[in-house]
Amino acid sequence: MYFSSMISVVILGAGNVAHHLYKAFSASKAVKVKQWYNRHLKTIETFKNEVAITDNLSELTKADIYIIAVSDDAITDLSKRLPFEDRLVVHTSGSATAYDLDKKNRRGVFYPLQTFSKAADIDFSQVPICLESLRKTDYALLKSVATAITTITKRVNSDQRAALHLAAVFVNNFTNQLYRVAHEITEAEGAEFDLLKPLIIETANKVQDLSPFKAQTGPAKRNDKKTIKKHLKLLKSEHHKDLYKLLTALIQDTHGR
Amino acid sequence: MYFSSMISVVILGAGNVAHHLYKAFSASKAVKVKQWYNRHLKTIETFKNEVAITDNLSELTKADIYIIAVSDDAITDLSKRLPFEDRLVVHTSGSATAYDLDKKNRRGVFYPLQTFSKAADIDFSQVPICLESLRKTDYALLKSVATAITTITKRVNSDQRAALHLAAVFVNNFTNQLYRVAHEITEAEGAEFDLLKPLIIETANKVQDLSPFKAQTGPAKRNDKKTIKKHLKLLKSEHHKDLYKLLTALIQDTHGR
């Protein structure tokens, strides 16, 4: 049934995830975005010639699947206000559960594990989409929709999704903050942060094939006390010193120093 | 003078940097490795048909430049034992200074800012080489040798190099440890670390064009207290909780929360 015609989708919300999903679905032959809802029509007005847009929930059209891509706090309320029941409704959050959706509809999760900015283009075919459906029979449809835009889909339960979301904070938000610290350190000496960019790429590339455990190098792993002492002396910010000590201790714990 | 014939180089040491330098020079048309020294001949024995090898400092041949690629602690001693004077001798360390080399020779630094493993191939043309020479007149030669293998060369002073080396620990060693923490978090729930790999790449890619400040996203930056609380509850290790709190505070400091 799903394969004979296009799967119809309604997107609800207009943040970064919603925009990137809309774009990916629009480029796909297997899924059609039938309608795009947002409480502020203005945010999606530029798309009115491509897709039906609305700011009125009572105008929502019939579709195979409704994808709620709003902030975590707004998911439950929006799902309660949907004027229909027994349809498949999913959210895109990494940390909310499927039970955060109102139970009058069939529920699931459609979580694209990636960082989205309006400015940066994303190759969606390389974005893992983590799927969950409360009813077994809904999974096939969910998977078809995901497969239409990515090559990486994965069924995960809520605990696994929560772990992935938390881990994502470490590899993305926290890693980016380490880049920021490096930026501050180099700036303070008039050195170029740009010189670190190939190293940043290589660090990310290395763990595509090697485990982070095996990829580890540096003074902490070598227990090079002289360099560690030198570095701590160079750091001016107490926060940065604390961070250096904590991560050094963690590397040494991990590697049995 | 340097451009009319090949620049001759002697490499001293046989660690990862020495191996990668040897390989890069061998592929270059402007530089010839005349000799490779290591105190253990066995480590470089496989190269004996390509290059003169020796474990005897008194056998060192005449060359335009001697590149000492040994551990920081061994640099001074090795430079003292060189049986010649007034030649150009450099080390490849990020944290040692040019003054750590014995003053009987002309001194400099040839610091490739990258992480090197024996297993992983590196495109040396994208490795920034940070250069320093104590005598101004040696700089041109140093730069010619660097330019033979990379497109990115930069003159830096010792303070700048120390800052870059420290910053490199943050973007490489510490970032890799964050990947390791993420690995532990996902493993504990039976989730796949592999699903994070595209995010790891995108995080590194993003700061190639955007500053880390502008690239920042996530619950800490949004001051999403509910998610932060949820995450802290999920973390089992006290070290990981400390790390989460410290990096969250640092992001909030940076972004004025």
pLDDT truncated to tens, each residue of chain A (257 aa)?
Answer: 444 589 999 999 999 999 999 999 999 999 999 999 999 999 999 999 999 999 999 999 999 999 999 999 999 999 999 999 999 999 999 999 999 999 999 999 999 999 988 777 889 999 999 999 999 999 999 999 999 999 999 999 999 999 999 999 999 999 999 999 999 999 999 999 999 999 999 999 999 999 999 999 999 999 999 999 999 999 999 999 999 999 999 999 999 87
Whether the CB of A119 is below 8 Å from some CB of chain B: the reply is: yes
* A219/B168 CB distance under 8 A: no
Test mutation, B150, B158, B174, B244, chain A, max A CBs within 10 A: B174
CA dist list (Å): A93 to A121, A254, B201: 20, 31, 21
Query: Looking at the domain that runs over A161-254, which CATH code has it been given?
Result: 1.10.1040.20
Rounded Cα distance, A245 and A220, in Å = 10
Whether the CB of A168 is below 8 Å from some CB of chain B: the reply is: yes
- B31 near B9, Cβ under 8 Å? yes
* Cα distance from N-terminal residue to C-terminal residue, chain A: 59
Selection from B132, B16, B147, B24 nearest residue A218 by Cα = B16
Question: What is the value of ipTM here, to two decimals?
Answer: 0.94
B59: Cβ contacts below 8 Å, ≥ 6 apart: none
* Closest Cβ opposite residue B164 in set A73, A195, A201: A195
What element of type H or E holds A194? none
- B121 near B114, Cβ under 8 Å? no
Whether the CB of A24 is below 8 Å from some CB of chain B: the reply is: no
The number of beta carbons lying within 10 Å of the beta carbon of residue B79 is 22
Residue A71, classed as helix, strand or coil, is: coil
Selection from B232, B250, B228, B229 nearest residue A242 by Cα = B250
Rounded Cα distance, B36 and B27, in Å = 16
Rounded Cα distance, B57 and B54, in Å = 8
Closest chain A residue to the Cα of B120, Cα to Cα:
A206
CA dist list (Å): B164 to A14, A220, A222: 41, 17, 19
Q: What's the burial of B99, exposed, middle or buried (CB within 10 Å: 0-12/13-18/19+)?
A: exposed
pLDDT 10s digits, B69-127 = 999 999 999 999 999 999 999 999 999 999 999 999 999 999 999 998 877 788 999 99
* Length in residues, chain B: 257
Closest chain A residue to the Cα of B94, Cα to Cα:
A227
Residue B152, classed as helix, strand or coil, is: coil
- B94 near B171, Cβ under 8 Å? no
Whether the CB of A74 is below 8 Å from some CB of chain B: the reply is: no
Strand blocks (E) in B2-115 = 7-12, 31-37, 52-54, 65-68, 88-91, 106-112
* Length in residues, chain A: 257
Which residues is A91 bridged to in the sheet?
A68, A109
* In chain A, residues 187-226 whose CB comes closer than 8 Å to chain B: 188-193, 195-208, 210-213, 215-221, 224, 226
Selection from A209, A206, A203, A213 nearest residue A256 by Cα = A213
Going by the DSSP 8-state scheme, the letter that residue B83 receives in this structure is S
Fold classification of B7-156 (topology level): Rossmann fold (3.40.50)
Residue ranges per structural domain of chain A: 7-156, 161-254
* A171/B182 CB distance under 8 A: yes
* In chain B, residues 128-157 whose CB comes closer than 8 Å to chain A: 128, 130, 152, 154, 156
Rounded Cα distance, B161 and B126, in Å = 18
Segment B37-46 long-range contacts (CB within 8 Å, at least 24 positions apart): B37/B10, B37/B11, B37/B12, B37/B13, B38/B12, B38/B13, B38/B14, B40/B14, B43/B14, B44/B14
Contacts of A160 in chain B (CB under 8 A): 186, 189-191
CA dist list (Å): B147 to B75, B81, B159: 24, 29, 23
Closest CA–CA distance from residue A88 to any residue of chain B (Å) = 25
